[in-house]
Amino acid sequence: MKPIVIFTCIIFLLITACEKDTPPFADEDITISSSMPGFAVYKTKGDYFNYIAVYLDSNENIAICPVYNENSIHIIKDKDNKIQYTERWKLKSGYIVDREMIFINSFTDVTFQEQIEYIKDNSDNFNADLYYKPRIIDKNPFVEYYHISEGLGRDFTLGEINQMAENGTLETYFTKLK
Protein backbone atom coordinates (compact mmCIF):
# COMPACT_ATOMS: atom_id res chain seq x y z
CA MET A 1 0.00 0.00 0.00
CA LYS A 2 1.05 3.52 -0.58
CA PRO A 3 1.97 5.60 2.49
CA ILE A 4 -0.86 8.11 1.86
CA VAL A 5 -3.47 5.33 1.91
CA ILE A 6 -2.07 3.90 5.15
CA PHE A 7 -1.95 7.36 6.71
CA THR A 8 -5.57 8.05 5.68
CA CYS A 9 -6.72 4.73 7.16
CA ILE A 10 -4.95 5.43 10.44
CA ILE A 11 -6.52 8.91 10.72
CA PHE A 12 -9.97 7.48 9.97
CA LEU A 13 -9.56 4.79 12.64
CA LEU A 14 -8.40 7.34 15.22
CA ILE A 15 -11.34 9.64 14.54
CA THR A 16 -13.81 6.75 14.69
CA ALA A 17 -12.33 5.48 17.98
CA CYS A 18 -12.47 8.94 19.56
CA GLU A 19 -16.11 9.44 18.61
CA LYS A 20 -17.14 6.38 20.61
CA ASP A 21 -15.85 7.97 23.85
CA THR A 22 -17.73 11.22 23.31
CA PRO A 23 -21.22 11.16 24.83
CA PRO A 24 -23.89 12.11 22.32
CA PHE A 25 -25.77 15.35 22.53
CA ALA A 26 -29.17 15.25 24.16
CA ASP A 27 -32.34 14.52 22.24
CA GLU A 28 -33.67 18.01 21.57
CA ASP A 29 -37.29 16.82 21.96
CA ILE A 30 -36.88 16.11 25.69
CA THR A 31 -39.13 18.45 27.66
CA ILE A 32 -38.07 20.02 30.96
CA SER A 33 -40.60 21.49 33.36
CA SER A 34 -39.79 24.97 34.65
CA SER A 35 -41.27 23.96 37.99
CA MET A 36 -38.19 21.86 38.80
CA PRO A 37 -36.34 23.66 41.65
CA GLY A 38 -32.83 22.69 40.47
CA PHE A 39 -33.44 23.43 36.78
CA ALA A 40 -30.30 25.18 35.52
CA VAL A 41 -28.36 25.81 32.31
CA TYR A 42 -24.61 26.21 32.71
CA LYS A 43 -21.07 25.87 31.43
CA THR A 44 -18.22 24.69 33.63
CA LYS A 45 -14.46 25.23 33.59
CA GLY A 46 -13.86 21.56 32.80
CA ASP A 47 -15.77 18.55 31.55
CA TYR A 48 -17.59 17.49 34.71
CA PHE A 49 -20.56 15.95 32.89
CA ASN A 50 -20.20 12.47 34.41
CA TYR A 51 -19.14 13.66 37.87
CA ILE A 52 -21.20 14.06 41.02
CA ALA A 53 -21.69 17.53 42.52
CA VAL A 54 -21.99 18.20 46.26
CA TYR A 55 -22.84 21.19 48.43
CA LEU A 56 -20.35 22.34 51.07
CA ASP A 57 -21.54 24.24 54.15
CA SER A 58 -19.72 27.27 55.58
CA ASN A 59 -17.32 24.93 57.43
CA GLU A 60 -16.54 23.07 54.17
CA ASN A 61 -18.35 19.95 55.31
CA ILE A 62 -20.57 18.05 52.91
CA ALA A 63 -24.07 19.36 53.63
CA ILE A 64 -25.92 17.96 50.62
CA CYS A 65 -24.79 15.07 48.48
CA PRO A 66 -26.56 12.61 46.27
CA VAL A 67 -26.29 8.95 47.12
CA TYR A 68 -27.31 6.83 44.17
CA ASN A 69 -27.72 3.10 43.91
CA GLU A 70 -28.80 0.86 41.05
CA ASN A 71 -32.46 1.40 41.96
CA SER A 72 -32.36 5.22 42.04
CA ILE A 73 -35.02 6.79 39.83
CA HIS A 74 -32.46 9.01 38.06
CA ILE A 75 -30.12 6.16 37.16
CA ILE A 76 -30.38 3.77 34.22
CA LYS A 77 -28.06 1.27 32.61
CA ASP A 78 -27.38 1.63 28.90
CA LYS A 79 -27.06 -1.24 26.44
CA ASP A 80 -23.41 -1.73 27.48
CA ASN A 81 -24.43 -1.96 31.15
CA LYS A 82 -22.88 1.45 31.92
CA ILE A 83 -24.58 3.74 34.40
CA GLN A 84 -26.27 6.84 33.00
CA TYR A 85 -27.57 9.76 35.06
CA THR A 86 -30.88 10.89 33.56
CA GLU A 87 -31.16 14.45 34.92
CA ARG A 88 -28.27 16.12 33.02
CA TRP A 89 -27.98 16.74 29.26
CA LYS A 90 -25.26 18.08 26.95
CA LEU A 91 -26.40 20.60 24.38
CA LYS A 92 -24.78 21.23 21.01
CA SER A 93 -24.14 24.83 22.09
CA GLY A 94 -21.73 23.63 24.79
CA TYR A 95 -24.14 24.21 27.66
CA ILE A 96 -25.41 21.64 30.13
CA VAL A 97 -29.03 21.44 31.26
CA ASP A 98 -29.47 19.92 34.70
CA ARG A 99 -32.57 19.33 36.82
CA GLU A 100 -30.69 18.96 40.11
CA MET A 101 -27.95 21.61 40.14
CA ILE A 102 -27.54 24.51 42.52
CA PHE A 103 -25.20 27.43 41.93
CA ILE A 104 -23.07 26.80 45.01
CA ASN A 105 -22.29 23.16 44.24
CA SER A 106 -18.75 21.83 43.96
CA PHE A 107 -17.76 18.99 41.64
CA THR A 108 -16.01 15.84 42.75
CA ASP A 109 -14.09 13.42 40.57
CA VAL A 110 -16.52 10.67 41.57
CA THR A 111 -18.45 9.32 38.61
CA PHE A 112 -22.00 8.02 38.88
CA GLN A 113 -20.72 4.58 37.85
CA GLU A 114 -18.09 4.60 40.58
CA GLN A 115 -20.48 5.73 43.30
CA ILE A 116 -23.04 3.06 42.48
CA GLU A 117 -20.39 0.36 42.58
CA TYR A 118 -19.08 1.76 45.89
CA ILE A 119 -22.55 1.92 47.46
CA LYS A 120 -23.24 -1.65 46.35
CA ASP A 121 -20.19 -2.83 48.32
CA ASN A 122 -20.12 -0.28 51.20
CA SER A 123 -23.65 0.94 51.89
CA ASP A 124 -23.25 0.30 55.63
CA ASN A 125 -20.02 2.32 55.81
CA PHE A 126 -20.90 5.29 53.59
CA ASN A 127 -19.70 8.62 54.99
CA ALA A 128 -20.09 11.59 52.63
CA ASP A 129 -17.24 13.61 54.17
CA LEU A 130 -14.81 10.70 53.93
CA TYR A 131 -15.94 9.66 50.47
CA TYR A 132 -16.51 12.98 48.70
CA LYS A 133 -14.48 15.63 50.52
CA PRO A 134 -11.00 14.48 49.48
CA ARG A 135 -12.29 14.06 45.92
CA ILE A 136 -13.53 17.63 45.35
CA ILE A 137 -11.89 18.94 42.19
CA ASP A 138 -13.60 22.31 41.70
CA LYS A 139 -15.32 24.46 44.35
CA ASN A 140 -16.20 27.20 41.86
CA PRO A 141 -16.89 25.27 38.64
CA PHE A 142 -19.25 27.54 36.73
CA VAL A 143 -18.18 29.83 33.90
CA GLU A 144 -21.84 30.67 33.23
CA TYR A 145 -24.89 29.70 35.24
CA TYR A 146 -28.57 30.39 34.53
CA HIS A 147 -31.41 29.43 36.82
CA ILE A 148 -35.03 29.24 35.70
CA SER A 149 -36.88 32.49 36.46
CA GLU A 150 -39.38 32.14 39.31
CA GLY A 151 -43.05 31.56 38.52
CA LEU A 152 -42.52 31.12 34.80
CA GLY A 153 -44.97 28.23 34.56
CA ARG A 154 -43.96 26.78 31.20
CA ASP A 155 -41.99 23.87 29.89
CA PHE A 156 -39.06 23.91 27.46
CA THR A 157 -37.63 21.37 25.09
CA LEU A 158 -33.87 20.93 25.12
CA GLY A 159 -33.96 22.13 21.51
CA GLU A 160 -35.56 25.42 22.58
CA ILE A 161 -32.96 25.88 25.32
CA ASN A 162 -30.14 25.09 22.90
CA GLN A 163 -31.52 27.65 20.45
CA MET A 164 -31.70 30.29 23.20
CA ALA A 165 -28.08 29.53 24.13
CA GLU A 166 -26.95 29.81 20.52
CA ASN A 167 -28.91 33.07 20.03
CA GLY A 168 -27.71 34.59 23.31
CA THR A 169 -31.29 34.88 24.63
CA LEU A 170 -31.14 32.61 27.70
CA GLU A 171 -31.82 35.63 29.94
CA THR A 172 -35.28 35.95 28.39
CA TYR A 173 -36.46 33.06 30.56
CA PHE A 174 -33.52 32.40 32.87
CA THR A 175 -31.85 34.47 35.56
CA LYS A 176 -28.10 34.74 35.06
CA LEU A 177 -26.23 34.17 38.32
CA LYS A 178 -22.78 34.10 36.74
* Domain boundaries of the chain, sorted by first residue: 25-176
Give the pLDDT confidence of 38-77 residue by residue, as tens digits. 789 999 999 999 999 999 999 988 888 888 888 888 888 8
Whole-number pLDDT of residue 2: 54
Rounded to two decimals, the pTM is 0.78
Give the pLDDT confidence of 114-124 residue by residue, as tens digits. 988 888 887 66
Separation between Cα atoms, residue 74 and residue 71, nearest integer Å: 9
Separation between Cα atoms, residue 174 and residue 155, nearest integer Å: 12
Query: What separation in angstroms does the CA of 82 have from each of 75, 76, 87, 103, 116?
Result: 10, 8, 16, 28, 11
